[in-house]
Chain A
Amino acid sequence: MNAQATPLTWTAIGTLDDIPRQGARCVRNGRMTIAVFRTADDRLFALEDRCPHRNGPLSQGIVHDGCVTCPLHNWVISLETGAAQGADSGATATFPVRLEGTTVLLGL
């Protein structure tokens, strides 16, 4: 992707409580769906909701130890880098996300 094209804009998408721990919620951004994950220790990550394998919706997977297991064929994707773990290869786009108070901001 072209890194300097547009400066980041931070968009409020909801509050921390909207997302279950060890779970995810989706944000529709035009045609794209972005999955925003919350870990057991309240860290937030955002990935495109599309598995690098066959486009499985990662938001529907089981979240564990900084990763999500895709619901379709069990690839394990790192929340931080979007990269497939283990023997599988491929990566999903990641987006910056941060917390201001309890508001979740997504950087696009």
Chain B
Amino acid sequence: MRDIRKKLVIIGNGMAPGRMLEHLFELTTAYEVTIFNAEPRVNYDRIMLSPVLSGEKSYADIIIHGDGFYAEHGITLHKGERVVSIDRARRAVISDKGTVAAYDKLVIATGSAPVIIPVPGHDLPGVVAYRDLDDTAAMIAAAETGGRAVVIGGGLLGLEAAAGLRARGMEVTVLHLMPSLMERQLDPAAGYLLQRELEGRGIAVRCAANTRAILGADRVEGVELADGTVIGADLVVMAVGIRPNTQIARDAGLAVNRGIVTDAQMRSDDPDIFALGECAEVGGMVYGLVAPLYDMARIAAHALAGAEVEGFRHQETPTKLKVTGVSLYSVGEFGEGEGREDIVLRDARRGSYKRVILKDSRVIGAVLYGDVADGGWYNEMLKSGRDVSDIRDTLIFGERHQGGGSFDPVAAAAALPDDAEICGCNGICKGTIVRAITEKGLSSLAEVRATTKASASCGTCANSVENVIRAVLGDAYAQQAEGICACTDHGHDTIRRAIRAKGLKSIPAVMQALEWRTPEGCAKCRPALNYYLMADWPGEYEDDMQSRFINERVHANIQKDGTYSVVPRIWGGVTSVAELRAIADVAEKYDVPEVKFTGGQRIDLLGVKKEDLLGVWKDLNDAGMVSGAAYAKGLRTVKTCVGTDWCRFGTQDSTGLGVKLEKFLWGSWTPAKLKLAVTGCPRNCAEATCKDIGVICVDSGYQVVYGGAAGLHIQGTTELGLVKTEEEVIEVIAALTQYYRETGFYLERVYKWAKRLGYDQVKAVVFDDLAARRALHDRFVYSQRFAQIDPWAERVEGKYSHEFAPMAALKLEAAE
């Protein structure tokens, strides 16, 4: 059957057309869509490049539409193909690779290109702009070798680049032509506060600095200013502005001013050609922030679908800077002008500054630095044009000081009108969120974000969105904190990435860099951080005993009566007369009340007094035994069956392999406990198919399986792959364990971790990609150099001796 759908071709696959398609597919299925994207990738959240640069997010986190989206909607996406011309007569576009695509409707969404100031040396290697993922990757690569960076441009992009490079350890200088930073969004007072804050973080700032030349023979070596100063640099980032990409439209004879001229429905002067995003000029304005672009996207989608929609109207968009820990907000106008009045509040000690600009008793602008909680409130008044004479006296103190009483942000959210804007980037009003919650039964921030897009772009409004959810659901809304505990808003993922990206090597450093709310963390986050630091910096990070749960601190399991249980390692479940005798002797000598076989093929001495632990361990050590780590978020047991040694069905030496694996893996710390089993044939007597990692011996080799569970949750394992030799089993299991160690969340068992990452993804990395598998194995082996130390022996020798004896005994019990 012929496809009778009309052909829609889109040039550019940025944020604006991505959003347009979402609206379009909700409205109609009339189009067959073809997209050309000069960037060789899917649609991602460009705003979030700054967190990628600083290491707080990864590329995978910021993808808006994955490959699945294009498949699902039958879209042809030409990745890495640039459209070079539009043939309006034939109604077709031609790409640089020669692809020709005919259109019924065409959308030009080519965005902008960074402005490069043509000073001498601007084309030297080492000079980059800041616009796309490739620029970001180039900066990250440059930062890996350390050195000095100069950022030219002290606007939004330049400062985000500077902060990101600084976070990655570079020495950074910002050069800004104007006398104060971000002069388009901030008045000089707030610009100065910002400069001081950045300087406090070790970023050098030079305002009124005019770049004369970029120096260097084969690559960048420095920057020379007009006053002759030379600043050494290994990397120069140009972030001085953007220019709409309009060349192909101009060549095609469309009306172009600063941008491609459109009417309020985003139509160019050719009725079949639309323009939207940063390349479009509507109502005489071009835009560089996503909120208005999303408006254009919605309107263009309606126009394409032939649906009624109100045309584009200019609105002020607030500006925020996405540098962790710097709060600033500005909206509207703040220059001097006829009839304008300022209300200013400064608190130099707290580093906060607020200024509201009024005209005819109406708010026309606001600049907030430090305390930005009221930004939305001022913006609301700006948009509504309400007369503020009645609250003028208290206006500057903000919303919480209106009408007396104590301020309750949830009550304030409840009191907002339905058309109050909550998410600026996406233009989501309170009413939309409330409807989504009540009609679709949503109950978490994540669900509201997925359904309405509120807080899905820059994320700074997440708190306000939560307040609305709380106002609607009341107590039913248990805050599903995205943070790992109440001390932080950051999730495990962000924390792990920041530790590596920023080279954080101590718990206080992590808390400082990620702005923990509590000075010392809590019993939830400290053990997690301690594990992450141990796993990421083997040999460098020193284990923090005070951040470990008691069991891991004293290497025994605490019991309900405050005594401990002691489980020595019984390698692969195989013991000897000598070991059994030593265990029996210890039990007798220390009056151990109970001796029990565990479900893990070893022996538990239960009810040992804390003071006796050292003695118990010494005796067990002397008999050649080490701690079984029955308490550890680390390797626990490797269960085995009798295998070829004795069993008539055994296909391989399952017992021997189990012992080898346990001797190889013991001592390692993992996100949660790690249990293995090796079984001699598929009859599975060692229960390998419900372990974190299992090996099933078969005639042709060894089947490695993983992701089983038989505790709180019951689940069979998934196959990783079949290998031929014991050496390969060990390599694959080391790689799997190391990948888990590097990407697992604290307390996340293997089955949950694999589900989160995807079993295919895990297999692709630790089994199929031989180079990655080898590298993971090698990292595991390296980290074992610092991990395979028997904690019992260490303590018997006197380490942490304070743990095991009371500090003082004041009255003898008999004297009572």
Contacts and interface: CB of A to CB of B under 8 A. Distances in A.
B810 A30 contact: yes
Contact of B545 (A20, A26, A28, A61): A20
A63 B296 CA distance: 54
B527 to A, nearest CB: 7
A25 interface: yes
B55 interface: no
A64 B523 contact: yes
B658 to A, nearest CB: 32
Nearest to B546: A22
B95 interface: no
A54 B558 CA distance: 14
Contacts of A18: 802, 807
Contact of A27 (B527, B560, B810): B810
Interface in A85-106: none
B549 interface: yes
Nearest to B814: A30
B546 to A, nearest CB: 4
Given A22-B546, A40-B520, A71-B550, A28 B808 contact: yes
B802 A19 contact: yes
B510 to A, nearest CB: 14
B547 interface: yes
- Name which of B806, B808, B809, B811 has the most chain A CB atoms within 10 A of its CB: B808
A29 B519 CA distance: 33
Contacts of B523: 61-62, 64, 69, 74, 76
A64 B545 contact: no
B522 A54 contact: no
A33 B810 CA distance: 10
A14 B808 CA distance: 7
A71 B549 CA distance: 7
Contacts of B816: 30-31
Interface in A29-47: 29-31, 33, 36, 40
B527 A62 contact: yes
Contacts of B560: 54, 72
A30 B806 CA distance: 13
A22 B520 contact: yes
Given A57-B562, A64-B520, A64-B523, A30 B545 contact: no
A61 to B, nearest CB: 7
B550 A60 contact: yes
B813 interface: yes
B526 interface: yes
A26 B802 CA distance: 10
Contact of B522 (A14, A23, A26, A69): A69
Nearest to A38: B546
Interface in A46-85: 54-57, 60-65, 69, 71-72, 74, 76
Interface string B541-563: 00001111111011000101010
Contacts of B656: none
Nearest to B815: A30
Nearest to B558: A71
A62 B526 contact: yes
A13 interface: yes
Contacts of B519: 40, 65
- Name which of A36, A55, A65, A108 has the most chain B CB atoms within 10 A of its CB: A65
A76 B487 CA distance: 14
B518 interface: yes
Interface in B94-118: none
B235 to A, nearest CB: 39
B694 interface: no
Contacts of B547: 22, 62
Nearest to A40: B520
Contacts of A69: 522-523
Interface of A: 11, 13-14, 18-23, 25-31, 33, 36, 40, 54-57, 60-65, 69, 71-72, 74, 76, 108
Given A28-B810, A57-B558, 10 more contacts: A22-B546, A22-B547, A25-B807, A27-B810, A28-B808, A31-B816, A40-B519, A40-B520, A60-B562, A62-B523
Interface of B: 518-523, 526-527, 545-551, 553-554, 558, 560, 562, 802, 806-813, 815-816
Which 10 pairs of residues, A with B, have the shortest CB-CB distance? A69-B523, A25-B807, A22-B546, A60-B550, A62-B523, A13-B808, A28-B809, A30-B811, A57-B562, A71-B550
8 contacts: A18-B802, A20-B545, A27-B810, A29-B811, A61-B550, A71-B551, A76-B523, A108-B810
